[in-house]
Structure formats: structure tokens, C-alpha cells
């Protein structure tokens, strides 16, 4: 299974492709919205980027982090738009798409849904940086996307 993990956001979103057969991270990146372009264009660009990664890597499963925290209403709405764009790109490519609450992802992958974000990222770094030295400069958004790719079922 090749899985794409998505940590959606309206400004900086994490994207990660993991080959689950070999437990290898194939690609990570941070999608950064262009503040001059406006939300409709940024969502289209994000949708296209997710679609490109799906095709490029032969992705079969997409795990998208579900917004579940209390921000202001406008922030939640904007994040949900990017969440929907990622799910639509996966669905358009006939992938299995799953929305995942971050605590569920941490429990599935790391054994505890009660881990704090920093602790979860440290555990992922210990596991993957030792084997893949090119992963040392990843952002927290990219590590969250790795977690989503590992959690998708």
C-alpha cells in the first residue's frame, strides 16, 4: 500500500507519501498558500498538488487529518476547505480516503492517543531519521502528514 498523509491547513499544509509495504517515506513537502492568490486559487492549487502526488507515487490510500480542535470559526472553516480538497483529490483518483482524528492516528501508529504532538514527532523522528538520513529538516506539518500516512487503514 502506498499512502498519502495530509495535515491540512489554510496557510501551511503537510503532505507525505509512505510506502507501507517497506515502511519507507517516499516524499514529504509543505504546501504553502500564496496570500496574494486568495482562498479559491490556493484550494485549487492544493487539490492539484495532492492529485499530482497521488499519480506520481501510485497512491492507493489517503489519510487526511480531521479538524477537531476549537479554533475560531473562520479558521476551522478554512482548514475544513483544505481537508475537503484533499479528500476530493483522493476520491477523484479512486483512492481509499479516510479522515483521521490525530489522537486516533497516534494510538494506531505509536500506541498511545494521549501523546503530545512534540512527543509523537520525536518518536517518529527516532524511527525514521535513523534509517532515512534525508529526513532531518522536516517541518512539524510534514511529520503530522507522515503520521496520517502511517495511520490510514
Is 12:33 a contact under the CB 8 Å cutoff?
yes
pLDDT tens string 32-44: 999 999 999 999 9
- Cα(50)–Cα(57) distance, rounded to whole angstroms? 11
pLDDT score recorded for residue 71: 65
- Cα(106)–Cα(78) distance, rounded to whole angstroms? 24
**Structural domains present in the chain:** 2-151 (3.30.420.10)
- Cα(43)–Cα(46) distance, rounded to whole angstroms? 5
Which has the minimum average pLDDT: 3-7, 75-79, 95-99, 145-149?
A: 75-79
49, three cell numbers: 498538488
pLDDT tens string 91-118: 999 999 999 999 999 999 999 999 999 9
Instruction: Please give the DSSP secondary-structure letter assigned to residue 66.
Output: P
pLDDT score recorded for residue 128: 85
Antiparallel, parallel or unpaired: β 24-32 and 12-19: antiparallel
The verdict on pTM exceeding 0.95 is no
Query: Which backbone phi and psi does 60 adopt, to 5 degrees?
Result: -110, -20
pLDDT score recorded for residue 82: 94
Given a cut of 80, whether residue 133 has pLDDT beyond it is: no
CA angle 123, 100, 15 (to 5 degrees): 65
pLDDT score recorded for residue 139: 92
pLDDT tens string 34-89: 999 999 999 999 999 999 999 999 999 999 999 876 668 888 888 999 999 999 99
Amino acid at each position: 500500500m502506498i499512502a498519502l498523509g495530509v495535515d491540512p491547513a489554510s496557510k501551511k499544509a503537510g503532505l507525505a507519501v509512505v510506502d507501507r509495504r517497506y515502511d519507507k517515506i517516499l516524499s514529504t513537502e509543505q504546501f504553502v498558500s500564496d496570500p496574494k492568490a486568495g482562498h479559491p486559487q490556493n484550494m485549487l492549487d492544493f487539490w492539484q498538488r495532492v492529485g499530482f502526488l497521488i499519480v506520481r507515487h501510485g497512491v492507493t490510500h489517503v489519510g487526511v487529518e480531521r479538524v477537531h480542535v476549537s479554533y475560531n470559526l473562520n479558521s476551522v472553516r478554512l482548514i475544513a476547505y483544505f481537508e475537503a480538497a484533499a479528500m476530493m483529490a483522493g476520491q477523484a483518483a479512486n483512492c481509499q480516503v479516510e479522515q483521521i482524528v490525530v489522537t486516533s492516528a497516534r494510538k494506531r501508529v505509536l500506541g498511545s492517543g494521549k501523546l503530545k504532538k512534540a512527543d509523537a514527532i520525536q518518536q517518529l523522528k527516532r524511527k525514521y531519521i535513523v534509517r532515512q538520513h534525508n529526513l532531518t529538516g522536516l517541518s512539524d506539518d510534514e511529520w503530522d502528514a507522515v503520521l496520517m500516512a502511517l495511520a490510514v487503514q
